[in-house]
Structure 1
Amino acid sequence: MAEKNYLVKVEEGKAASDGQPSIGPSYRSIFAKDGFPAPIPGMESCWDIFRMSVEKYPTNPMLGRRQIVDGKAGKYVWQTYKEVYDIVIKVGNALRSCGVEKGQKCGIYGVNCPEWIISMEACNAHGLYCVPLYDTLGAGAVEFIICHAEVSIAFVEEKKINELFKTFPASREYLKSIVSFGKVTPEQKAEAEKHDLAIYSWEEFLQLGENKTFDLPVKKKTDICTIMYTSGTTGDPKGVLISNESIVTLIAGVKRLLASVNEQDVKLLVEDIGELKPSILCAVPRVLDRIYSGYLPYILEYSEETGF
């Protein structure tokens, strides 16, 4: 089988000269050998990505959650793009009601769920820096990220609320409000009061944004969309500033690369995946490694049986 090469050399390496170090050759994806994809008209920010999708596909399913019936996960229940958009607007209004303005930092702490995405889109709508909080980066990582990024409000999975309290008193200077993805217990309200911290259940926060209107600020490509913290090689987590331009450029590239895959295409790819049947799976390398490790024994066994 012929080997496929997905890289092309666009610039030769340069030898060291005048005290400057040598530079290796530059490579680019084969899909961009003749230049980068043209920008998508009207797409200047991450908010535009969502807004344009809502305008184009208002009734299409966007966010799904599996129903739990008798302790078992059942079918997916979906919210459409327009339904999600309406909730995003309420969450954005509630953020502004709390005094959060463009350029401030908003943390999100929890596993993947519709509320995670809704919170992120509300940040995009009002030009807030979205800051994912990870306790997988090690003990004290959440406290460090809140203080380092100066996070003033955080959306939190229910079972992570008590973990967030552990960041006090160190984070007290910055963190002023917590919004649960679900409910808040009386004990958690009492604990928040000790730290002069406002705390809301998801429904309480949505009600805060009801019947309120705030103008959406102008977003530019050069604005920061998110601060992504990584473990780094040594020391504290490192915050990577990701601009709107980085993401909208990526979207333009993906659109070009996957032009043959449309919204009705379902193939490939564990329980959730078996139920969802995704066409495309976007994942961090660690997840892909786990999928690879899970399938490899079956592939090897099949190979021994068939000779392929």
Structure 2
Amino acid sequence: MDGFTQTGDVGEWQPNGALKIIDRKKNIFKLSQGEYVAVENLENIYGVLPEIDSIWVYGNSFESFLIAVINPNQQALENWAGQNGVTGSLAELCENAKTKEHFIAELAKAAKEKKLKGFEFVRAVHLDAVPFDMERDLITPTYKKKRPQMLKYYQGAIDALYKSSK
């Protein structure tokens, strides 16, 4: 096949001529304006934030923006809450509108630093105090996200985020 092998990976050519693998073909989707999103790449960028233990970024072809389900880092969240006069249990902090605004602002800051395109910014978040786990069939034994199962599990939260963000 002309020296190329089909692996199911998506790559981009680097200025030095090297090929950098940026995502799996099956983890790419299109938003309503036709932009393609390499979701795993975005999760790697956003996932390095100290406030985030785990993140699942989601979008679909009927919507124009991305949303995310986040497992916040408990210590970082409690420190932020203490400094900003926000009180409550971890679960209550996750439901707090001020907390969600803080996470969206942190994601936007990371997106700007990495020079992401506007459609790659996460516009709304659902915070889940319970880490993604195998008991709920959300991850594999090697901690890879099971995207179809996550969509099914978080469908109610996703629908609410898209509805309230319009």
TM-score when scaled to structure 2?
A: 0.26
Higher CA-based Rg? 1
